[in-house]
Amino acid sequence: MKSLIVILTLLYACVVKAQEYEFPEDFQFGVATASYQIEGAWDHGGKGENIWDRMTHERSYLIEDGSNGDHACLSYYKTEEDVQLLKDLGVHFYRFSISWSRILPTGHANKINQEGIDYYNDLIDRLIAAEITPFITMFHWDLPQPLQEIGGWPNALLADIFVDYADVLYKVFGDRVKDWITFNEPAQICEQGYATADKAPAYTQEGIGGYLCAHTLLIAHGKAYRLYYQDYHEEQQGRVGITIDTGMYMPADEESPDDEEAAERTIQMYYGWHAHPIFSADGDYPQIMKDRVLAKSLEEGFPKSRLPSFTDAEIAMIRGSSDFLGLNHYTSSYCTTIPDEWVLQRPSNYADIEAWCYASPDWETSGSSWLTVYPEGLRKLLIWIKERYNNPEIIITENGFSDKDGSLNDCRRVNYFNSYLEQVLLAIHVDKVNVTRYTAWSLMDNFEWRRGYTERFGIHHVDFDDDERPRTAKMSAYVLKNIILTKKINWDYTPGGFSECDWDNWGTEEPEEEINEV
């Protein structure tokens, strides 16, 4: 009881403190989207087919509601309207992605589609006219289908093909675009795309496909970064980074060294897998990952590790190849050593890690089975990154909350933003973590990958039953706008026209799953 009082007092002190803190003067706020999730016009304007077009058309059973992004939010036709939403929010930047197949319909740089370039030029110019910085993701999962036909990312030659694409982007947009992200979430692209089948192209080469894919991606990223500094930086003066997603992984029992190791192993082999080669002082994959995958591979009868190795030149080329660390973060989990009977008897990243991670049943749930609310995890993660990777500049490139009802009075989303942003304030002011930008996911409800239109992350509601796809601001949009304007979090703020949130009792949805597998 006594310790509970102490904890509550501390918690109260933290909350009160955080409410007093402000975001630094030059701190920037933005919102994010991704091309396939919002653009629609899948076969218009000269665009080529990508792997999400192909998968949703030929294997619609993989999508929860059988839907696709053929029309999505029709953003391809609504540049003016979408930029107006951004102006109304008062954001400093807009993070969006470029559809590779819209620029290069074959995936290769032999044929450049001027209509695609015109579309993004118009968007970029309107943003700049509105004093909103365009922040571009080059690859947010929609690989041109012809490149999948030659193996997709596990084919090491895709690295150079990606660099050709990056070269085109720097050349045509780099006069006005100064903030580039090469890849969004390597783990999702690779592990889910080529090993666990949760993202296109939905292959199931467990223990192999993900590792080959990530290896290509890291080389592609490094080369695209080096190209910018070799040919464009002097003239364009921009920055190039990468966005890597992770939850915070914490020991289930803080007193247990085994659990401590399980948590550290998980974050190293999920997040460090992609972050360590770029942001650590030594470069290359984390040692623990190299050791474990090699040992497992030999046990399994492979002649060498399933994890490919970099040459020394590649390690040096990739190390330091990012001007900022882009972080996508939504949720956290507790980890413990996996019980013997649960160890998979086949090669997989999961078996290589050998840990069991789960969300606390006490945490609030969302519209997504994998997303539970633990704001303190973000602060812990920011500290973890600062300590491991020598205090880099961190840009939070995604953070957000889903529901299924799409309510405009979205108190649960407001709670999420308020409480996660409080942790960002504590990280900045107390822990001296260098966070310079925060990006809310997402500007609007959109095609949520394999969940189709069943899960909504938007701060604007989109009516997908209406051919015009009208957008309506939710309460969370006004709350974010107020935070941007005041640089403060105000829990009592209720925008006009919305009903007050009762912070003790705002949950409406039943928990779906209490335990999430990582």
Active site residues per annotation? 398
Asked if residue 360 binds ligand NAG (CB under 6 A), the reply is no
CB of 434 to ligand NAG, least distance (A): 4
The helix/strand/coil state of 430 is: coil
C-alpha triplet 280, 286, 289: angle, nearest 5°: 165
Alpha helices in 66-151 (DSSP H): 79-89, 100-103, 114-129, 145-149
Count helices and strands in the chain by DSSP H and E runs:
20, 15
Q: Which helix (H) or strand (E) holds 263?
A: helix 257-267
Q: Looking at beta carbons only, is 351 or 428 nearer to ligand NAG? A: 428
Bridge partners, residue 136, by sequence: 96, 180
- Sites for ligand NAG among residues 433-472 (CB under 6 A): 434, 436
Q: Looking at beta carbons only, is 202 or 383 nearer to ligand NAG? A: 383
Q: Looking at beta carbons only, is 26 or 502 nearer to ligand NAG? A: 26
> Which strands form 248-251's sheet, in the order they lie side by side?
248-251, 332-337, 355-358
For ligand NAG, how many residues bind (rule: CB under 6 A)? 3
CB of 438 to ligand NAG, least distance (A): 14
Question: What amino acid is encoded at 45 in this protein?
Answer: G
CB of 140 to ligand NAG, least distance (A): 24
Q: Among 393, 404, 487, 518, which residue interacts with ligand NAG (rule: CB under 6 A)?
A: 393
Q: Looking at beta carbons only, is 269 or 426 nearer to ligand NAG? A: 426
Phi and psi torsions of 464, nearest 5°: -80, -5
The β-bridge relationship of strands 239-245 and 179-184 is parallel
What does the CA dihedral 329, 333, 337, 340 come to, rounded to 10 degrees? -100
E-strand spans in 271-415? 325-328, 332-337, 355-358, 364-365, 372-373, 394-398
Structure tokens of 415?
């709670």
CB of 324 to ligand NAG, least distance (A): 7
CB of 436 to ligand NAG, least distance (A): 6
CB of 392 to ligand NAG, least distance (A): 8
Q: Looking at beta carbons only, is 386 or 450 nearer to ligand NAG? A: 386
User: Do 206 and 213 touch, CB atoms closer than 8 A?
Assistant: no
State the sign of the Cα–Cα–Cα–Cα dihedral 100, 104, 108, 112.
negative
Which x/- pattern, by CB under 6 A, does the window 480-499 give for ligand NAG?
A: --------------------
Measuring CA to CA, which residue among 106, 43, 105, 95 is closest to residue 69? 43
Q: Looking at beta carbons only, is 167 or 431 nearer to ligand NAG? A: 431
Q: How many CB atoms lie within 10 A of CB 403?
A: 22
- Sites for ligand NAG among residues 222-241 (CB under 6 A): none
Asked if residue 22 binds ligand NAG (CB under 6 A), the reply is no
CB of 382 to ligand NAG, least distance (A): 13
Return d(Cα 193, Cα 481) in angstroms, integer.
35
What does the CA dihedral 333, 336, 339, 340 come to, rounded to 10 degrees? 110
Q: Looking at beta carbons only, is 324 or 330 nearer to ligand NAG? A: 324
Which spans of this chain sit near ligand NAG (rule: CB under 6 A)? 393, 434, 436
